């Protein structure tokens, strides 16, 4: 058969009605085992593929979910996307990944695409869109990351504040008192939990807040290198650096190596996220592991419940715990040795 086989061809081949073929393919109504076997055999013989567009018009479901992230080049989001894909595909859906690159116009265009193409649901780490804009999509939506200003939606994220406290406490227990902080800079202007955790920790431990120990930088490798360079050129450089994510931390390690600081003997560095590259640095990067895969998987679980009509009375907010992963980039300070910059 030269032309693409249709549902009528399958019905003729199987010796059943078109409606029987439709019921078998949809799995909505009971059909005799004999008829089911005949239909699936005909499908295999003819190479029939169901017309997804026509099916969506009949069932009002496309079996498509959109995932919108701000930076898919960041390995953190790739791991979250893996958790989303594995969980959503097991339920029969396909996921379309959209990368906004922190661009407001692009993020809003993706929302329009999801609405115009009748996506069944949406997962998003929003950077600029408002509560009203998300509601206008008219589709079930779950937010990746904790957002206090978007109260209408389920949120799934990690306990970033607690993770920062873990990192700083680790350095403090090792004996560090002059701890530098490379604060991640969100292009959205949000993401202050790391900053709050750092300031609170200093206060809790009775340590002075020194503005010279804090440098703000976008979450990029090169910016971590530059930020660490600033910290290490201070008249009294820090004995340890906490970087807001692993990309910044790895950049900081490069800057330290270049300036002659031995890690961890003369400078300890700790990151956050536990991306795959963190275990491959020399020395291995101590970091705070975020449950990246689990964030994606749990968000899908909430989404599937809403798609099934199991809508809770109140939106849910789930903070998944972080954990400390100790490698070789942290140790007790050797304050008597300060290399030349």
Q: Are residue 171 and residue 235 in the same domain, yes or no?
A: yes
* Mean per-residue pLDDT, 74-103: 94
Those residues whose C-beta lies under 8 Å from the C-beta of residue 186, and which sit 6 or more positions away, are: 127, 219
> pTM for the complete prediction?
0.80
Provide the domain limits for residue 105.
64-159+292-321
82 is a domain residue? yes
Q: What is the pLDDT of residue 340?
A: 44
Q: How many domains does the chain have?
A: 3
* Mean per-residue pLDDT, 162-171: 98
Question: Predicted confidence band at 218 (pLDDT cuts at 50, 70, 90)?
Answer: very high
* Mean per-residue pLDDT, 134-145: 92
213 is a domain residue? yes
Q: What is the pLDDT of residue 51?
A: 56
272 is a domain residue? yes
Question: What own/partner pairs with CB < 8 Å and gap ≥ 24 does 302-307 have?
Answer: 302/142, 302/154, 302/156, 303/65, 303/88, 303/121, 303/123, 303/140, 303/142, 303/154, 304/88, 304/91, 306/121, 306/140, 306/142, 306/154, 307/120, 307/121, 307/140
* Mean per-residue pLDDT, 214-224: 95
Q: Are residue 282 and residue 225 in the same domain, yes or no?
A: yes
Q: What is the pLDDT of residue 60?
A: 56
Q: Are residue 259 and residue 118 in the same domain, yes or no?
A: no
Those residues whose C-beta lies under 8 Å from the C-beta of residue 110, and which sit 6 or more positions away, are: 66, 68, 98, 100
Q: Indicate which CATH number applies to the domain containing 11.
A: 1.10.260.40
Are 6 and 55 in contact, with CB atoms under 8 Å apart? no
* Mean per-residue pLDDT, 56-85: 85
Q: What is the pLDDT of residue 29?
A: 66
96 is a domain residue? yes
Q: Indicate which CATH number applies to the domain containing 117.
A: 3.40.50.2300
326 is a domain residue? no
Q: What is the pLDDT of residue 57?
A: 41
* Mean per-residue pLDDT, 260-268: 97
Q: Are residue 98 and residue 120 in the same domain, yes or no?
A: yes
């Amino acid at each position: 058969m030269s032309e693409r086989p249709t549902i009528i061809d399958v019905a003729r081949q199987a010796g059943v009605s078109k409606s029987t073929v439709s019921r078998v393919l949809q799995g909505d109504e009971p059909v005799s085992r004999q008829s089911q076997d005949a239909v699936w055999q005909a499908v295999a013989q003819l190479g029939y593929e169901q017309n997804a567009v026509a099916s969506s018009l009949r069932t009002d479901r496309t079996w498509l979910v959109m995932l919108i992230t701000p930076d898919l080049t960041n390995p953190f989001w790739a791991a979250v996307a893996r958790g989303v894909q594995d969980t959503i595909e097991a339920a029969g859906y396909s996921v379309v990944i959209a990368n906004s690159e922190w661009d407001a116009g692009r993020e809003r265009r993706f929302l329009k695409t999801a609405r115009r193409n009748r996506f069944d649901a949406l997962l998003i780490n929003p950077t600029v869109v408002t509560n009203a804009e998300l509601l206008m999509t008219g589709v079930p939506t779950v937010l990746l990351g904790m957002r206090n200003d978007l109260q209408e939606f389920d949120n799934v994220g990690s306990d970033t504040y607690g993770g920062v406290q873990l990192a700083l406490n680790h350095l403090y227990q090792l004996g560090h008192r002059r701890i530098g902080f490379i604060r991640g800079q969100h292009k959205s202007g949000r993401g202050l939990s790391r900053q709050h955790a750092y300031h609170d920790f200093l206060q809790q431990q009775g340590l002075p807040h020194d503005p010279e120990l804090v440098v703000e930088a976008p979450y990029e490798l090169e910016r971590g290198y530059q930020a660490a360079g600033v910290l290490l050129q201070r008249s009294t450089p820090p004995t340890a650096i906490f970087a807001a994510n692993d990309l910044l931390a790895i950049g900081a390690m490069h800057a330290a190596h270049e300036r002659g600081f031995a890690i961890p003997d003369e400078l300890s560095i700790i990151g956050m996220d536990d991306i795959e590259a963190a275990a491959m640095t020399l020395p291995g990067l101590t970091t705070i592991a975020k449950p990246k895969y689990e964030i994606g998987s749990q968000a899908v679980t909430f989404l599937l419940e809403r798609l099934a009509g199991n809508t809770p009375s109140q939106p849910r907010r789930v903070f998944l715990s972080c954990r400390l992963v100790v490698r070789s980039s942290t140790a007790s300070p050797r304050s008597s040795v300060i290399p030349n910059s």
